[in-house]
Amino acid sequence: MSAKPSHLFYQGRERKPVLDQARGVYMWDVDGKRYLDGSSGAMVCNIGHSNENVLEAMRRQMEKSTFGYRLHFETEASEKLASKTAALTPEGLNRVFFVSGGSEAVESAIKLARQYALAVGQGSRWKVISRSPSYHGCTLGALAITGYAPLTKPFEPMMQMMPKVPAPRAYLDGLDPDDIATGHHYAHMLEAQILAEGPESVLAFIVEPVGGASTGALVPPRGYMERVQEICRQYGVLFILDEVMTGAGRTGKFLASEHWNLEPDIMVMSKGFAAGYMPLGGMAAHERLVEPVLDAGGFLHGFTYAGNPLACAAGLAVIDEIERLGLVRNAALMGEKLLTRLRELMDRHAIIGDVRGMGLLTAFEFMSDRATKAPLPKELRAFDRFVQIAYVKGLIVYSRRTRDGVEGDHVLVCPPMIVNETHLDEITEMLDAALAQFTAEIRPSLDK
Ligand code: PMP
């Protein structure tokens, strides 16, 4: 831990270890302490650290050019990555726009949707319905569609907050996620919200196919995703999938939408697409949306770094590595094994109230009582404390308060897609020890 004062500031005052090197699934600080990256950073470093082929592709691009302004030049890297993205995304999503991260990609999708509505004479449509809890980004537009009070509340006077529908947390509501009636029950909430708002005012519905940071790997109940897509079509509402966290193999398919054969109007992507090698995000939009916008005078949107050739070269090389190493299949296989191990930990540790996930997007949620599903007391700051305990043991995991940001804590366990069973053993052992220590620490507060 560095003792010197820092000019940098992010979240709090607490200093962090200084990162020295990262290779594969491991990271080392300058004191030589080794960490297993059990959350791939923030579910970003999907192919592991310091992949030599990606570094080499970046070196080659750097020697050619690192920047070409998108209104002056096309580049081979961005053209190739756009073609590859169009080939990997569902039918019709043939028009691609690159940015530098997830929030930028979400902003781009909202603005494209609105410009499409204007271009086709549907200017009354402007509301973007999303879910609560959800996370779509930190910029004011993306935050307005984020359902997570601790992050949105301070800024609400400055934003046009958008309508929310409940995320389908069947495990809390005591409903069977495998029963199609459960999926339809939650999907119906979207229909009711569209009708309450007035369908002619609703522009889009945006959803994370498998919940990420805010819900902790929430897998939708059977029938839910297909039904919300149908409802969107029925009311002329654009269907936007936020695959920022789920994309690039994380859930055991290249895109989570493949689990349900979804055909969104717009898909947003980031994180795993350049896997932490460069800042990269993007949206793939259906040509039926983009053509009218271009006909109407062009897309009024852009970031200086949009389509950056170095970021695109890194993205291209990352996708090549995912394909060459069979990482999507490995994520599906290792994800199953990891879920089994987490369920075994739940058998041993009463503090775990739920285990869930898909592929290598997995999580467990703390509860003080499994029967009543009561969360741990907020004052314990379990999400924070558990991460610290695991960290000291050499395991990085990612945690957040779950339930509308007011109560409930989950821990995401999302190692890089290159993990093998030995890594999973290591993760499980460290989690086991961290859970035992955490339970011993908090037991006095629970017994009170
Ligand atoms: N959407 C989702 C689903 C995300 O998980 C995130 C990041 N956690 C974002 C959008 C925002 O991405 P970024 O942090 O790159 O702006």
Is residue 135 within 6 Å of ligand 1 at its C-beta?
A: yes
Q: How far is the CA of 37 from the centre of ligand 1 (A)?
A: 19
- Residue 175 to residues 69, 189, 227, 336, 382, Cα–Cα distance (Å): 52, 15, 17, 23, 26
Give the angle subtended at the CA of 263 by the CAs of 43 and 142, to the nearest 5°: 50
Reported as a pLDDT band with limits 50, 70 and 90, residue 12 is confident
Average pLDDT over residues 397-409: 73
- Amino acid 134 reads S
Token pair, residue 85, equals 């993205």
The whole-number pLDDT of residue 405 equals 53
The whole-number pLDDT of residue 379 equals 85
Whether 438 shows a pLDDT value over 70: the answer reads yes
Is residue 110 within 6 Å of ligand 1 at its C-beta?
A: no
Is residue 136 within 6 Å of ligand 1 at its C-beta?
A: yes
Among 39, 98, 134, 135, name the best residue to mutate to test ligand 1's pocket (greatest count of ligand atoms within 8 A of Cβ). Answer: 135
Q: How far is the CA of 213 from the centre of ligand 1 (A)?
A: 9
Among 44, 132, 136, 277, name the best residue to mutate to test ligand 1's pocket (greatest count of ligand atoms within 8 A of Cβ). Answer: 136
Q: For residue range 25-59, list pLDDT tens digits in order.
A: 999 999 999 999 999 999 999 999 999 999 999 99
Residue nearest to atom 15 of ligand 1 (CA): 102
pTM above 0.90, yes or no: yes
Q: What is the domain partition of the chain in residue ranges?
A: 53-324, 326-447
ipTM over 0.95: yes
Q: How far apart, in whole angstroms, are the C-alpha atoms of residue 92 and residue 90?
A: 6
Is residue 270 within 6 Å of ligand 1 at its C-beta?
A: yes
Among candidate residues 97, 413, 152, the one with its CA nearest the CA of residue 282? 97
Among candidate residues 121, 132, 201, the one with its CA nearest the CA of residue 168? 132
- Please report the beta strands in 333-406, taking only residues with DSSP state E, as ranges in sequence order: 352-358, 361-366, 395-396, 398-403
Reported as a pLDDT band with limits 50, 70 and 90, residue 400 is confident
The more confident residue out of 256 and 14 is: 256
Q: How far apart, in whole angstroms, are the C-alpha atoms of residue 145 and residue 140?
A: 9
- What is the CATH code of the structural domain delimited by 53-324? 3.40.640.10
Is residue 250 within 6 Å of ligand 1 at its C-beta?
A: no
Q: How far apart, in whole angstroms, are the C-alpha atoms of residue 74 and residue 78?
A: 7
Is residue 269 within 6 Å of ligand 1 at its C-beta?
A: no
Average pLDDT over residues 268-285: 98
DSSP annotation string for 77-142: HHHHHHHHHHHHS-TT--EEEEESSHHHHHHHHHHHHHHHHHHTT-TT--EEEEEES----SSHHH
The whole-number pLDDT of residue 15 equals 86
Q: For residue range 326-375, list pLDDT tens digits in order.
A: 999 999 999 999 999 999 999 999 999 999 999 999 999 999 999 999 99
Residues 248-268: b if buried by 16+ CB within 10 A, e if exposed: bbbbbbbbbbbbbebbbbbbb
Among candidate residues 248, 199, 207, 215, the one with its CA nearest the CA of residue 88? 248
End-to-end CA distance of the chain: 35
Is residue 60 within 8 Å of 313, Cβ to Cβ? yes
Token pair, residue 372, equals 């009543």
Q: For residue range 188-202, list pLDDT tens digits in order.
A: 999 999 999 999 999
Q: How far is the CA of 244 from the centre of ligand 1 (A)?
A: 6
Average pLDDT over residues 72-94: 97
Q: For residue range 164-183, list pLDDT tens digits in order.
A: 999 999 999 999 999 999 99
| DSSP bridge pairs for 365 | 354, 410
Computed from CA positions of residues 399, 402, 406, 408, in that sequence, does the dihedral angle turn out positive or negative?
negative
Q: How far is the CA of 78 from the centre of ligand 1 (A)?
A: 21
Q: How far is the CA of 275 from the centre of ligand 1 (A)?
A: 13
| DSSP bridge pairs for 206 | 240
Is residue 282 within 8 Å of 101, Cβ to Cβ? no
Whether 73 shows a pLDDT value over 60: the answer reads yes
- Please report the beta strands in 222-269, taking only residues with DSSP state E, as ranges in sequence order: 238-242, 266-269
Is residue 409 within 6 Å of ligand 1 at its C-beta?
A: no
Whether 1 shows a pLDDT value over 60: the answer reads no
Reported as a pLDDT band with limits 50, 70 and 90, residue 403 is low
Is residue 243 within 6 Å of ligand 1 at its C-beta?
A: no
The whole-number pLDDT of residue 429 equals 98
The whole-number pLDDT of residue 408 equals 79
If you ran DSSP here, which 8-state letter would residue 199 be given?
G
Is residue 244 within 6 Å of ligand 1 at its C-beta?
A: yes
Domains 53-324 and 326-447 share a fold: no
Torsion of CA 45, 48, 54, 56, to 10 degrees: 130
Q: Which atom in ligand 1 lies closest to the alpha carbon of residue 242? A: 3
Q: For residue range 304-319, list pLDDT tens digits in order.
A: 999 999 999 999 999 9
Is residue 127 within 8 Å of 202, Cβ to Cβ? yes
If you ran DSSP here, which 8-state letter would residue 358 be given?
E
Q: How far is the CA of 181 from the centre of ligand 1 (A)?
A: 30
Per the listing, tokens 């997995």 go with 362
Tell me what the pLDDT averaged over the chain comes to: 95
Provide the percentage of residues in the chain whose pLDDT is more than 70: 98
Q: For residue range 120-158, list pLDDT tens digits in order.
A: 999 999 999 999 999 999 999 999 999 999 899 999 999
Provide the percentage of residues in the chain whose pLDDT is more than 90: 91
DSSP annotation string for 285-328: E-HHHHHHHHHTT------TTTT-HHHHHHHHHHHHHHHHTTHH
Q: How far is the CA of 433 from the centre of ligand 1 (A)?
A: 30
Reported as a pLDDT band with limits 50, 70 and 90, residue 9 is confident
Evaluate whether the domain defined by 326-447 bears CATH number 3.40.50.720: no
Reported as a pLDDT band with limits 50, 70 and 90, residue 2 is low
Q: How far apart, in whole angstroms, are the C-alpha atoms of residue 273 and residue 302?
A: 20
The more confident residue out of 407 and 278 is: 278
Average pLDDT over residues 276-284: 98
Per the listing, tokens 């690159």 go with 98
Among 98, 103, 145, name the best residue to mutate to test ligand 1's pocket (greatest count of ligand atoms within 8 A of Cβ). Answer: 103
DSSP annotation string for 338-350: HHHHHHHHHHH-T
